Amino acid sequence: MSSNRGACDVVESKHIPERTCVGCRRKAPKSELLRIAADKNGWVRADPGGKLGGRGAYVCRRIECLKSARKRLPRALRCDAESVAAAWSAIEAEVTSG
């Protein structure tokens, strides 16, 4: 007797990683969000490629989400508010340009 293991044509969809926006708390595919990274020295910067080392937090690419995320980012990144404030103009520029 032969086995019919491949007889059922079930198409498995590819897993799409999801992350939660720090600003609006909405879940979205990782590719739709902007990663903001803080390294171990406390440097905070936008990480559009998602490859920088360190702790990361994700924000929707909408200015409203970014504004509400400003207060929550220091806690999410486990860094001080001054580090986030120092990088804020670069992060805003990344959201408005992309």
Query: For every residue of 39-59, which 3-state class applies, written as one string?
Result: CCCCCEEEECCCCCCCEEEEE
So where are the chain's domains? Answer: 17-97
- Residue 74 pLDDT class (50, 70, 90 cuts): very high
H or E element at residue 15: none
Kindly indicate whether the domain formed by 17-97 is annotated with CATH number 3.30.1230.10.
Answer: yes
Residue 2 has a pLDDT of 55
Instruction: Quick: pLDDT tens for 76-92.
Output: 999 999 999 999 999 99
H or E element at residue 92: helix 81-97
Give the SS3 label for residue 11.
Answer: coil
Residue 85 has a pLDDT of 93
Distance CA 76, CA 9 (A): 43
Residue 97 has a pLDDT of 83
Instruction: Quick: pLDDT tens for 15-73.
Output: 999 999 999 999 999 999 999 999 999 899 999 999 999 999 999 999 999 999 999 99
Beta bridge partners of 58: 21, 35
